[in-house]
Structure 1
């Protein structure tokens, strides 16, 4: 009998344990006529589908499985693929019951039936919406005829913002130690309240900025991977690097290293952040920020810290190869030398047989056969004497070049009128010499007009010229000061370089 009782106890214990495992999210959505709904979750910069309910009856949606949901912010997504509302899941909300009314006012009707903390979460966003609507309503009605009216509106806005800050601080304190407190902390803006005034009578902007930057990531634990399972981390990172960090590649590199050091190497968050930083600065359109990409390659991928980031390890080698190609072309690097041939020497090079060679082997034979003569014809970039050398790679038949080259010519002539010591090292990227000479004559290009007549330089690889035109600006020491700019920006760029040089000397 004792054994039987023991068996019964074990059975019910086991059954109870099974019943508590897994998740079951039940949502009663009044007035919902959809036949299916999705359960999605956030992971850094993506939203992914976790579950699908295909049996909605009278607005009752049930997501259920035997394994637990990971802690994070989840969304109910409609049949039309729009997010209806967010909610959080942690250890306490694996069995969750929610009710709401489908429609524009769904946020107001959201009710968590069996979780006080979930209800607090709903109330938080409801409160934000109420405060925002109240301020907008006030703003629409407020007079703005005088400066006094504008100051009054600014003060009112400050009151609303401080009210929200107080609410958020109270929320975080009340739920301290919970996932949702960490999420709201991540979302909040840490601004300096009642900053001291500067001599001009306005809030001291320097102190405000320093406080904001110093406290931007306050209490954010990058070693806790749950911190990426919400819609806020990715956008907060973008805000930090786009608006808070000084817009300079060196500053960005320092901040990337500082934040990456806060993560656990090899963790999913580490991998996602590293991949995102690498892609962001490889594809950056801001001049000079390829230096950050090179830094990512040198500091992470070459050292093995990028192992496992990509499913295809060949991607790592491609990143390293690309970065190594860009390194000699970074702003501040000395320009790689070029050994070119004058455009007017095209007929001589053709007579030597350079244009008739059918492959690299034949080209090599032609080159060594005529090496002494060719060496006398070199026009070297390093030999150009000027305060500024505009290095341009282009093609006569390139449509964009046909628009940009006349603009560059006009800029060049204007710079000469301004008594600037500037020269243009014009590199034709093809070998149709007659066509090149005709264009030079027709457009009267008073430049150092050259081409790779001896097929010696491989400028495509050396200067990363995969489309034309490509324009670099070099100083008198052939240091790269600007690159890949439009012809219309050449004059302004040289003025900016001069201003920077003057500032450094003063």
Structure 2
């Protein structure tokens, strides 16, 4: 359970409108009584993705009684009744939205009772069952981890854990069968691991792990109903989506893009699910700290935002998203670095693409930038080590004051290629998306981008690895 209640602040551009709701209907009334709390306030909050939002605030009377009610039905999902001290319990709001609940403060799970809500009764009975199973399994796991446990005893302990697991699965199956269309049944179903075959053997007799990985990836969403938007208002859908894109898929842009398109197609089963999946993938990889993942962001914008399929952002917002993607597109890993012609200390034009070197380190810098002052001395040592091996530095100074640039170069005896373009005639700032310095791009001999926004140490590591290939 997530303890903090924070209003989700999505990117104002990408996510505008993502939380649009479609309430309609017959109203709701949830009567609550909590022993041990009085004369205070309570909040009704709901899950959406990996965040929670406050929906309503009510007063709690002297006997711990309060009511959440409204003329329009709530969107089905998992809700939270929040009490003082950030203490809360969760309830399922589904087809039936008129019920009552009672509990004792600080002992919610054990004391929770419901009237007119069989799905919530099943929910809390299951939590109590899981608590019992954990009490049984805890000592078994601890003994299994004990270095002094014999192999024979470990086998017995694993059998015990297997029996506990079998009981848990049986309980889940019982609930799924009892509530086939209920939200709690769908939650339990969505949490299941995908069905897997026995691992086939390779010619050398070893298990074919690649086959098993591809099968797992293909079947990962087997139990998820993309047509059921109720799952968006539980922690389950986001958690599974995040796990798939950050832990299951190999973190290579092409692999992620292929899976992104596949999952988006599944998400078309419901417009709200489609909206959330497209937003999640776009936002996740636009913000990713892994080099090269901006290719996923560009792909999503080109194929879903710029094609008109995203209708939850304004025209102005869409234009800004598209501009951002198009600014990044020329700088994607594997592309030829944009050509820039800047000026040497003797005012002669010099083309980046005319530099002949096995590797070129394109270095945007400023003599007064504090971070540049830390990187430049490292770059000097880097150059002394790697220039004899075919590495050149194309140092593009970003200052308007030409004399400051020249003084720094001369005073520090920097001997690589130096260029400057004080009036930005080359358009280098836009071409290379420069909003801070230092900024380093590593290019191969054809001026293709190998790496970007890296440190001097990372550049050297990549070059040495490439030289060994």
Query: TM-score if structure 2 supplies the norm length?
Result: 0.86
Indicate if the aligned counterparts of 1:337 and 1:382 stay in contact, CA closer than 8 A.
yes
1:148-297 mapped onto 2 (5 Å cutoff) = 148=150, 152=155, 157=161, 159-190=163-194, 192=196, 205-264=209-268, 267-297=271-301
CA deviations 1:374-400 (Å, max 9, x no partner) are xxx211111111111111100010000
- Which position in structure 1 is the counterpart of 2:14? none
Give 1:204 deviation, angstroms.
Answer: 6.1
Indicate if the aligned counterparts of 2:92 and 2:119 stay in contact, CA closer than 8 A.
no
Quick check: 2:49–2:234 contact (8 Å CA) kept in 1?
A: yes
Gaps of 5+ in 2: 1-24
Q: 1:100 aligns with which of 89, 100, 103?
A: 103
SS in 1 for 2:266: coil
Give 1 or 2 for the bigger CA radius of gyration.
Answer: 1
Equivalent in the alignment of 1:477? 446
Q: Is the 8 A contact 1:41 1:49 kept in 2?
A: yes
1:191 and 1:211 in contact (8 A); partners too = no
Aligned to 1:464: 433
Residue 404 (1) aligns with residue 338 (2): no
Instruction: State yes or no: 1:80 paired with 2:85.
Output: yes
Match of 2:406 in 1: 437
Relative to structure 1, is the Cα distance of residues 459 and 301 closer, same or farther in structure 2, using a 3 angstrom cutoff? Answer: same
**CA spacing shift, 1:54–1:384, aligned 2, 3 Å:** same
Report what 1:327 is aligned to.
Answer: 329
The structural deviation recorded for 1:148 is 4.6
* Residue 488 (structure 1) aligned with residue 457 (structure 2): yes
Per-residue CA deviations over 1:274-320 (Å, capped at 9, x if unaligned) read: 2232222222211111111111121012111112x22x331110011
Alpha-carbon RMSD across the aligned residues, in angstroms, is 2.8
Check the 8 A contact 1:415/1:422 in 2, yes or no. yes
**CA offsets per residue over residues 416-440 of structure 1, 9 Å max, x none?**
4xx5211111111113333222222
The one of 69, 73, 76 equivalent to 2:74 is 69
- Contact 2:194-2:223 at 8 Å conserved across structures: no
Which of 316-325 and 222-231 deviates more? 222-231
Is residue 40–residue 49 contact of structure 1 (8 Å, CA) maintained in 2?
yes
Q: Judge conservation of contact 2:27–2:70 (CA < 8 Å) in 1.
A: yes
Is residue 2:13 matched to residue 1:44?
A: no
Alignment of 1:354-365 (within 5 A): none
8 A contact 1:341–1:453 mirrored in 2: no
Matched residue SS, 1:466: coil
Contact 2:39/2:59 (8 A) holds in 1:
no
Matched, 1:380 2:328: no
Q: 1:223 to 1:35 in 2, by over 3 A?
A: same
Question: Retained in 1: the 8 A contact 2:334–2:449?
Answer: yes
Farther off after superposition, 160-169 or 470-479 = 160-169
1:395 is aligned to 366
Q: Is the 8 A contact 1:281 1:293 kept in 2?
A: yes
Separation in structure 2 between the aligned mates of residue 78 and residue 430 of structure 1, nearest angstrom: 56
Deviations 1:451-494 (A, max 9, x none): 11564212111111110000001001000010010112111112
Distance 1:194 1:333, change over 3 A: closer
- Measured after TM superposition, the shift of residue 193 of structure 1 is 8.3
Structure 1 pair 29–154 and aligned structure 2 pair: CA distance change class (3 A) = same
Contact 1:111 1:119 survives alignment (8 Å): yes
Deviates more, 1:185-194 or 1:117-126: 185-194
Q: Distance in 2 between matches of 1:223 and 1:29?
A: 36
The gaps in structure 1 that reach 5 residues or longer are 1-19, 350-376
CA gap 1:279/1:333 in 2 versus in 1, 3 angstroms: same
Normalized per residue, the structure richer in helix is 1
Contact 1:329-1:480 within 8 A present in 2 as well: yes
Is the 8 Å Cα contact of residues 443 and 449 (structure 2) preserved in structure 1?
yes
Could you tell me whether the CA contact under 8 Å between 1:72 and 1:90 is conserved in 2?
Answer: yes
Which residue does 2:3 correspond to in 1? none
Residues matched between the structures, number: 443
Question: What TM-score results when the alignment is normalised by the length of structure 1?
Answer: 0.80
* Whole-angstrom distance in 1 between the partners of 2:113 and 2:444: 66
Counterpart CA distance in 2 for 1:138 and 1:147 is: 11
Q: Distance in 1 between matches of 2:239 and 2:381?
A: 43
